[in-house]
Structure formats: C-alpha cells, structure tokens
Chain A
Amino acid sequence: DAGVTQSPTHLIKTRGQQVTLRCSPKSGHDTVSWYQQALGQGPQFIFQYYEEEERQRGNFPDRFSGHQFPNYSSELNVNALLLGDSALYLCASSFYSGTGSGEAFFGQGTRLTVV
C-alpha cells in the first residue's frame, strides 16, 4: 500500500516565477491538506481539499492556490514566488469522515528553494 507521495522532491525556482507541486494521497483517503514548513519551525497549514473544493484555509495569501482531482490527488500552485516562499512543502492525506479519529499521514515533502 503506497503511502502519500509527493513530487518533485526538490525544486529551485527564481523570484517571480510560478511553481506547481503534486501530491497523491494514501489509498482510501479522500482529503488532502497542504502545509508549509520553514527552517526550524513547525509545519503551518495552508489549505485543505475535499470533494475537489477548498474546505479550509490558513493564513496564506491568494498567491497560494490548489486543486484536487477526481482521483483525490492534489496540486499546490504558488505564483509570483518570493524568497520567503523557500520551505519544505508537505502534503497530508486523511479520511474526511467526522466519525473517525482522522489521523493524517504525511508525504516526504517537496523542498522548494527560491533564488
């Protein structure tokens, strides 16, 4: 059973460019959440997708957007990259049902460096 997979593992972009990160959730999961982790900090919640819609959003600007596909996979897009967007981007999958404990499983992350 494949866990959460993310691609690419590393990425270098130039300020002002746009980037797309991809995530495939754990088998059986229908919800994908994205987190940003700056060096030395804990992960910060960006947003969550369920049934192809953004359900929750953290305190991130509109430059951060996403998408979820019918097969539950997801993309994170960041426009007009800033140096401060350099971070580890983590994808977590879970099962949306409110009756379950809802533990989330994380991928290995994409290390984005903006130069």
Chain B
Amino acid sequence: DAKTTQPTSMDCAEGRAANLPCNHSTISGNEYVYWYRQIHSQGPQYIIHGLKNNETNEMASLIITEDRKSSTLILPHATLRDTAVYYCIVRVAGGNNRLAFGKGNQVVVIP
C-alpha cells in the first residue's frame, strides 16, 4: 500500500469549513483514498473514500487532485464533536484488504 503524509496536528474554528490535506504521491492506479477518524479512546470511524472523482456524503467531501497525488477532506461546518485524529489511507478496494494506519492528523476544533 502507498504511504500517505498528513500534518501532525491542526486547529479549526467551530462553524467554519475544515480542510484536511493528505499527500499520496506514490498511489497506484487501483488504490483508493480512504478517510477514517478516531475520537479519543473510541474505535476508528469510516468517513468517506474515493478513487479519482470527488465524493460527498453526509459527513464530508473528498477532493482528489487530477493526478491523484494528493487529496483534501472537507468537513463543511466543523463542530466540537469533530475533534479527533483523522487518518488518510490508500489501499486497493475490497474487504479483504488491510488498512495501514499512520499516526494521523490530530484535529482540534476551537470554539
């Protein structure tokens, strides 16, 4: 699986959009970008995933650059409950494939 690079930490203002970057310059053509988050002492929560098109669901939007070497997770209106460690992972699709977590990005939403 390709490796990803994320900021170690970042602060976001409550009520504003939070833009979380991720670099994955060695991503392969059949690898998807997955985002998970982990609120303190809980299990990781699936957020969204995409291959090359932008994706949106009830939680977030995922913007993938045309060359697929980087992506941005957008939380449209950050709330205090969005404070968590966010993990960007690239892997081949399929439930038989492991998730390779890095250290993630500690996002703190500030009132």
A residues bordering B, Cβ < 8 Å? 4, 29, 31, 33, 35, 40-45, 48, 50, 55-56, 58, 88, 90, 92, 94-109, 111
Contacts and interface: CB of A to CB of B under 8 A. Distances in A.
Given A4-B43, A109-B42, A102 B96 contact: yes
Contact of B49 (A29, A88, A98, A103): A103
Closest CB pairs A-B (n = 10): A42-B101, A94-B95, A106-B43, A102-B95, A102-B94, A45-B98, A98-B94, A95-B95, A103-B46, A106-B44
Main secondary structure of the interface of B (DSSP, over half): loop
B99 A96 contact: no
Contacts of A95: 95
Nearest to B50: A101
Contacts of A106: 43-46
